[in-house]
């Protein structure tokens, strides 16, 4: 199957009575005729369902669809993007371990990383994760590297081919958050990432009607290395699938951050139109970036596909189809930025990205308000900066709203 077909049919199970959409199984538990059968399911020795916190048929259908479109071995969903990130990281690290992360990370992930300190896990934030900086900073205790394909809101582009090579050479796990890019724009596993994460709340769901997250496992032999002592038993029994086997048997169960079956259904509906939406998001974002670049009231525009962007060559290398729908721009002062937001009529001021609707936010006073000035600078968040998630409305209407808000 090709990509668009997979979005609709990938890993789809035929429904017994012919339903064309996966039914929503709103049942916490599943009855079995024999004690032996339930024992076998709960021991993981046979397929089947026991309790929805652990697995649910609608949720499984969503996980299978995502695994298919990302080209992963298996996927595990979570109640939110944040819980997916938390689970993926805590599945790997132990006290004394080190993580290398990019300083351009999504604010919530940045704070999560900082808070790992209380578990004795240290995080080195690098302004840029690349071949040279990684080689300089990886130590024997480095267990994982965490980066975003395109950073939100810094919009820096990960040179994933060279970074995954350094991780491979040093037997370090590479986790990539591909929320901004989606598998329509890049499939990180094909570029050597070990684990891919999405906040499915954004482009995967597509219309902002449910919070969710997913962890896609590409399978790896790295876990069999001496260094990953905590994976020893799982690696012996499950080989390349050690990560997911451990995730489901340990931290996944402990945290119990299960995706709701209703949200899985909504995501399954949303994912079918991913390509159509992403194409429009990319086209509209490029048009907005070009419009803003030509407006005298705008000090600067950050969108990787603009010729002047410092990430332009990486954008051309990895993102032929476009650089997603998120861009940032500066208006000189915080007052100008606030005035612009207050003047908008069509575009909503809120904390989200990846909706069909065009959205705007002033990151410094909202999503990054908990970060220090130094951290904000590292993230590329300035007092006069706005982030826009360009939707799929008619471009004339989006630009008219922006033009009007800039003129008054
Ligand atoms: C929104 C977002 C998250 C967090 O996801 P939630 O579903 O809101 O918990 C993580 N990473 C990125 C890049 C995001 O944009």
Convert the pLDDT of each residue in 175-227 to its tens digit.
999 999 999 999 999 999 999 999 999 999 999 999 999 999 999 999 999 99
Evaluate if residue 104 carries a pLDDT over 90.
Answer: no
Evaluate if residue 44 carries a pLDDT over 90.
Answer: no
Look at residue 378 in the predicted model and tell me its pLDDT: 87
Look at residue 178 in the predicted model and tell me its pLDDT: 98
Pocket test for ligand 1, best of 77, 82, 88, 151 (most atoms within 8 A of CB): 82
Lining ligand 1 with CB less than 6 A are 80-82, 106, 108-109, 148, 152, 177, 179-180, 199, 201-202, 211, 213, 353
Query: 226 CA distance to ligand 1 centroid (A)?
Result: 33
Encode pLDDT of 373-392 as tens digits.
Answer: 998 998 899 999 999 999 99
Q: Tell me the CA distances in angstroms from 42 to 38, 123, 256, one per residue in order.
A: 6, 36, 16
Evaluate if residue 36 carries a pLDDT over 90.
Answer: yes
CATH class given for the domain over 3-271: alpha beta
Encode pLDDT of 343-362 as tens digits.
Answer: 999 999 999 999 999 999 99
118 Cβ contact list (under 8 Å, min separation 6)? none
Query: 9 CA distance to ligand 1 centroid (A)?
Result: 26
Look at residue 209 in the predicted model and tell me its pLDDT: 98
Rounded-to-integer distance, Cα 24 and Cα 268, Å = 11
Does 3.40.50.700 match the CATH number of domain 274-407? no
Of the chain, the percentage scoring pLDDT greater than 70 comes to 100
Atom from ligand 1 closest to the CA of residue 213: 7
Query: 81 CA distance to ligand 1 centroid (A)?
Result: 5
Encode pLDDT of 230-273 as tens digits.
Answer: 999 999 999 999 999 999 999 999 999 999 999 999 999 999 99
Q: Output the pTM of the full model.
A: 0.97
Look at residue 346 in the predicted model and tell me its pLDDT: 98
Evaluate if residue 370 carries a pLDDT over 90.
Answer: no
Q: Where are the domains of the chain?
A: 3-271, 274-407
Look at residue 408 in the predicted model and tell me its pLDDT: 87
Given this chain, do its domains 3-271 and 274-407 carry the same CATH topology?
A: no
Query: 274 CA distance to ligand 1 centroid (A)?
Result: 17
Look at residue 8 in the predicted model and tell me its pLDDT: 97
Look at residue 227 in the predicted model and tell me its pLDDT: 94
Evaluate if residue 161 carries a pLDDT over 90.
Answer: yes
Query: 189 CA distance to ligand 1 centroid (A)?
Result: 19
Pocket test for ligand 1, best of 181, 201, 270 (most atoms within 8 A of CB): 201
Q: Name the CA dihedral angle for 343, 349, 354, 356, rounded to a multiple of 10 degrees.
A: -60
Rounded-to-integer distance, Cα 216 and Cα 189, Å = 9
Token match 């030509």: residue?
294
């Amino acid at each position: 199957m090709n990509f668009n077909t997979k979005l609709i049919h990938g890993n789809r199970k035929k429904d017994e009575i012919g339903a064309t959409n996966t039914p929503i199984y709103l049942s916490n538990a599943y009855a079995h005729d024999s004690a032996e059968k339930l024992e076998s399911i709960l021991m993981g020795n046979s397929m089947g369902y026991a309790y929805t916190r652990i697995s649910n048929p609608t949720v499984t259908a969503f996980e299978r669809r995502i695994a298919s479109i990302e080209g992963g071995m298996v996927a595990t969903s979570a109640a939110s993007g944040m819980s997916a990130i938390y689970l993926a990281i805590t599945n790997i690290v132990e006290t004394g371990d080190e993580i290398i992360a990019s300083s351009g990370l999504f604010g919530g992930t940045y704070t999560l990383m900082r808070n790992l300190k209380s578990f004795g896990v240290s995080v080195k934030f690098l302004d840029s994760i690349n071949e040279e900086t990684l080689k300089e900073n990886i130590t024997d205790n480095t267990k994982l590297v965490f980066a975003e394909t395109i950073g939100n809101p810094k919009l820096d582009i990960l040179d994933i081919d060279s970074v995954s090579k350094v991780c491979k050479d040093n037997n370090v796990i590479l986790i990539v958050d591909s929320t901004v890019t989606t598998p329509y724009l890049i499939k990180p596993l094909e570029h050597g990432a070990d684990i891919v994460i999405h906040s499915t709340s954004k482009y995967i769901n597509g219309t902002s009607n449910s919070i969710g997250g997913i962890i896609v496992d590409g399978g790896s032999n790295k876990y069999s290395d001496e260094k990953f002592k905590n994976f020893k038993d799982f690696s012996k029994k499950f080989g390349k699938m050690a990560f997911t086997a451990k995730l489901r048997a340990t931290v996944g169960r402990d945290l119990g951050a299960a995706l709701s079956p209703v949200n899985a259904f909504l995501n399954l509906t949303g994912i079918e139109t991913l390509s159509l939406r992403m194409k429009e998001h990319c086209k509209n974002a490029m048009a907005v970036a070009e419009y803003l670049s030509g407006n005298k009231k705008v000090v600067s525009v950050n969108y990787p596909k603009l010729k002047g962007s410092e990430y332009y060559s990486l954008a051309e290398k990895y993102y032929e189809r476009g650089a997603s729908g998120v861009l940032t721009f500066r208006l000189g002062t915080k007052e100008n930025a606030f005035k612009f937001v207050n003047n908008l009529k069509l575009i909503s001021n809120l904390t989200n990205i990846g909706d069909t609707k065009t959205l705007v936010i002033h990151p410094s006073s909202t999503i990054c308000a908990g970060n220090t000035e130094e951290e904000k600078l590292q993230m590329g968040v300035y007092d006069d900066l706005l982030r826009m998630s360009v939707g799929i409305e008619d471009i004339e209407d989006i630009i008219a709203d922006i033009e009007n808000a800039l003129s008054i």
